[in-house]
């Protein structure tokens, strides 16, 4: 089965990803995939990223 591993995992990847997205004021959502699995969607507000980089005032 593609993507399958028999190794034990600690499950830290999603937790770390969520914290990074949260620090950037974004969202991380999970959607079930037909036939098993899941789709993870990360949304970041690009405008907010540019405000910090270029010191743009609203």
Q: Tokens 């950037």: give the residue.
A: 24
Is 39 domain-assigned? yes
> What pLDDT, on a 0 to 100 scale, did the predictor assign at position 46?
74
> 3-state SS string over 15-56?
HHHHHHHHHCCCEEEEEECCCCCEEEEEECCHHHHHHHHHCC
The domain tally of the chain equals 1
User: Domain limits at 45?
Assistant: 29-58
Candidates 25, 27, 29, 22; CA nearest to 48 is 25
pLDDT of the chain along its 58 residues, tens only? 455 666 676 678 889 999 999 998 899 998 888 888 888 899 987 765 566 555 545 5
Is 4 domain-assigned? no
Is 43 domain-assigned? yes
Hey, how many other C-beta atoms are within 10 angstroms of the C-beta on 17? 13
> What pLDDT, on a 0 to 100 scale, did the predictor assign at position 50?
62
Interacting residues of 14 by C-beta distance below 8 A, sequence separation 6+: 40
> What pLDDT, on a 0 to 100 scale, did the predictor assign at position 9?
67
pTM over 0.85: no
């Amino acid at each position: 089965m593609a993507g399958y591993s028999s190794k034990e995992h600690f499950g830290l990847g999603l937790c770390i990803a969520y914290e990074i997205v949260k620090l950037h004021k974004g969202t991380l959502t999970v959607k079930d995939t037909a036939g098993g699995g899941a789709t993870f969607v990360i949304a970041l507000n690009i405008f907010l990223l540019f405000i910090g980089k270029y010191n743009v005032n609203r």
